[in-house]
Amino acid sequence: MIQIQKAANRRILVMGHRGARGLAPENTIASFETARKIGVDCVELDVHVSKDAHLIVMHDATVDRTTDGHGYIKDMNLSEIKALDAGSWFDPRYAGEMVPTLEEILEWSGGEMPLVIELKGGFEQGLVHRVIDLLWRYDMTNEVILISFDHRALQHVKALSPEIRTGILFVARLVDPIAVARGAVADALHPNWNYVDHELVRETHTAGLALSTWTVNEPEDMRTLIEMGVDSIGTDYPDRLVAVAEEMDQAG
């Protein structure tokens, strides 16, 4: 069993957003491999449910933007999704890259690379149950964090499998963020970075929770947030975040 923790000599936990979205086609094995080689502490990915009940790793509800196909994931079978090219749109050198399933990403991780799994779409098709069943089957409930904008879904996760760590996503200046986290029985706050300030970091830590923010791509903003004391940053450019964190660590 591994816990999600930052590299020994780093002050921040580096989360590769959709793998390394700025450097490779998002939510593909190529993107997750790129992030791994850079030295991230965990990778974030998004999950939907296909028509034939497979867990599909993709950000959008349709395949249109990130493959050469068209249509909603919920209306397509796995075989149709697997026939798509998920790499060429980003760069011709990624031609033939396939859309992965969550099961394939668990296999790829092998329990060695912690996963931050965003419950994105397909709640009505049993997304929560299907993800938890898979994590149980792979004995990987301790190697993941489940996050979502659907806080009731996270409440459901905790009711079914209390050992799974969860984080509430939000893009707002909440009046009482800790109460919202408590309502969802969550372990962490995952605010959009534009809503992070010293007060939120202090409140979160006082409550014994973690603060992971996203999606931060400019080194200057990374420095500011690290100085504020956030625990984790999600970025499309994990190479930049590793460089900033190492430079700050060396400067003391």
* Cross-strand pairs, 146: 117, 166
Exactly one of 48, 59, 151, 190 is catalytic; which is it? 59
Determine contact, residues 191/199, Cβ cutoff 8 Å. no
Work out which of 36, 59, 151, 156 binds ligand G3P, going by CB under 6 A. 59
**Based on CB atoms, which residue is closest to ligand G3P, 60 or 104?**
60
Smallest separation (angstroms) from ligand G3P to the CB of 142:
20
**44 scored as a contact of ligand G3P (CB under 6 A):** yes
Which alpha helices (DSSP H) does the chain contain, by range?
29-38, 78-82, 102-109, 127-137, 151-160, 177-183, 198-206, 219-228, 238-251
Burial 169-190 (b: 16+ CB within 10 A, else e): bbeeeeeebbebbeebbbbbbb
**Based on CB atoms, which residue is closest to Ca ion, 118 or 143?**
118
Site string for ligand G3P, 113-152 (x = CB under 6 A): -----x----------------------------------
CB neighbour list of residue 28: distance below 8 Å, 6 or more residues apart:
19, 86, 87, 94, 97, 98, 99, 100
Q: Give me the residue whose beta carbon is nearest to Ca ion.
A: 118
Task: Tell me which DSSP letter residue 217 carries.
Answer: -
- Based on the residue annotation, tell me whether 17 is a catalytic residue of this protein: yes
Give the total of residues touching ligand G3P (CB under 6 A).
10
**46 scored as a contact of ligand G3P (CB under 6 A):** yes
How far, in Å, CA of 138 to CA of 230, rounded? 31
Show the tokens assigned to 230. 């956030």
**Based on CB atoms, which residue is closest to ligand G3P, 139 or 218?**
218
Work out which of 10, 26, 31, 46 binds Ca ion, going by CB under 5 A. 46
Work out which of 118, 143, 187, 239 binds Ca ion, going by CB under 5 A. 118
Determine contact, residues 45/105, Cβ cutoff 8 Å. yes
Of 70-78, 112-120, 187-195, 233-241, the segment contacting Ca ion by CB under 5 A is 112-120
* Cross-strand pairs, 13: 232
- Based on the residue annotation, tell me whether 48 is a catalytic residue of this protein: no
> Footprint of ligand G3P on this chain (CB under 6 A)?
17, 44, 46, 59, 118, 169, 190, 214-215, 234
| Catalytically annotated residues | 17, 59
> Footprint of Ca ion on this chain (CB under 5 A)?
46, 118
